[in-house]
Amino acid sequence: MQSLSGVLASSTLSKSLQEVLTVTTNTCIDISSTLKKGSLAGILGMAGNENVQGEEQKKLDVISNDMLKSALLAIPEVRAIASEEEEDIVPAHTNGEYLIAFDPLDGSSNIDINSMVGTIFSIYSKTGNQPATEQDFLIAGNQQVAAGYVLYGPSTMLVFTTGSGVAMYTLDVDKSEFILTQESVSVPKDTQEFAINVSNQRFWSENIQNYTHDLIAGKEGPREKNFNMRWVAAMVGDVHRIMCRGGIFIYPWDKKDPSKAGKLRLMYEANPMAMLVEQSGGKAYTHTQRILDIEPTGIHQRVAVILGAANEVDKCLSY
């Protein structure tokens, strides 16, 4: 059984990238143990509320953000971070070699029902010796040097890629370390399982309405096979299911707020998940283009997401 530290040490990755990955994943182990304490740690509830000691409660997204932010800003390898919970980028060391974008806690609506949540991260390298600006982060996802997520489920799992396949690690809680449990993750090209929030159906474009209509028509419809539907309500959980047993995940554009290109965020949700899915043989598109080829215009930019089984993504895009 190989530990993450052993795998990293025997890899060809630079020591500096190893350090960024180690600090990121170790912080996720700390987030995991905070989550496991649940109500006992007085961490549930909304920010702004007071706990029984009269102290202000912080939402777990804020706690997770503070943990990742302070751990990453403390190491010299980091030039800057961008986070869902930070309006602006946070510059760190002018000669740091890496930019890290993260969603500290994905699926926050699941926190108070003790269901799956996760942390998603995306890492870019940065040359030069300048204070970081937002512009530095506006790089297409195809330039990511590493991407991954940690899923806080019944077990805590780390799934990440550095551009040559995807590996899964399971947290050994007693040793506080991630152990390699699956290499060469592969997403089957075909599937009979989809994930989409159907409550938004009336707001979707006609092509997504027609596509899902045909999925639901099953064996009797034009697809001539039955489909199953699953929705974790945390992208990290839905993508993890796809990494484990295949499927397609869709969060399309909808006309609830036509000015928004989608709900999910490009830099710390769509891009890292797209890299993982592609590295596993799947596809990740908006309704018009490959996600990893999008030239970002802002760190909190939203995009439509259609990802998973390659043939099913093609099928969806053909509507």
Q: Which residues bind ligand AHG (CB under 6 A)?
A: 84, 103, 106-108, 197, 233-235, 251, 263
Helices (H) and strands (E) in the chain, counts: 8, 15
In 3D space, the residue among 99, 101, 90, 111 whose CA is nearest the CA of residue 31 turns out to be: 111
Residue 233 binds: one of ligand AHG, Mn ion, none (C-beta under 5 to 8 A by kind): ligand AHG
Q: Output the six-digit token pair for 173.
A: 């809680």
Listed ranges 49-57, 83-91, 189-197, 216-224: which one lies at the site for Mn ion (CB under 5 A): 83-91
Minimum CB distance to ligand AHG smaller for 27 or for 162: 27
Binds Mn ion (CB under 5 A): choice among 19, 103, 238, 254: 103
β-bridge pairing 193-195 and 248-251: parallel
3-class secondary structure, 19:
helix
3-class secondary structure, 181:
strand
The reply to whether 19 sits near Mn ion by the rule CB under 5 A is: no
The residues, any chain, with a CB within 8 Å of residue 206's CB and separated by 6 or more, are none
Q: How far is the CB of 246 from Mn ion (least distance, A)?
A: 22
CA distance 305 to 265: 9
Listed ranges 16-24, 100-108, 140-148, 169-177: which one lies at the site for Mn ion (CB under 5 A): 100-108
Q: Mask 112-141, x = binds Mn ion (CB under 5 A)?
A: ------------------------------
In 3D space, the residue among 29, 27, 5, 1 whose CA is nearest the CA of residue 18 turns out to be: 5
Minimum CB distance to Mn ion smaller for 29 or for 60: 60
In 3D space, the residue among 100, 104, 304 whose CA is nearest the CA of residue 200 turns out to be: 304
Residue 234 binds: one of ligand AHG, Mn ion, none (C-beta under 5 to 8 A by kind): ligand AHG
Q: How far is the CB of 277 from Mn ion (least distance, A)?
A: 16
3-class secondary structure, 88:
coil
CA distance 73 to 96: 10
Minimum CB distance to ligand AHG smaller for 16 or for 108: 108
Please state, in angstroms and as integers, the Cα–Cα distance from residue 213 to each residue in 19, 121, 202, 222, following that order.
47, 34, 12, 10
Listed ranges 3-11, 84-92, 225-233, 255-263: which one lies at the site for Mn ion (CB under 5 A): 84-92
Q: How far is the CB of 175 from ligand AHG (least distance, A)?
A: 29
Minimum CB distance to Mn ion smaller for 63 or for 132: 63
Q: How far is the CB of 103 from Mn ion (least distance, A)?
A: 4
The reply to whether 238 sits near Mn ion by the rule CB under 5 A is: no
Contact 82, 99 (CB under 8 A): yes
Minimum CB distance to ligand AHG smaller for 132 or for 236: 236
Question: Which positions touch Mn ion (CB under 5 A)?
Answer: 84, 103, 105-106
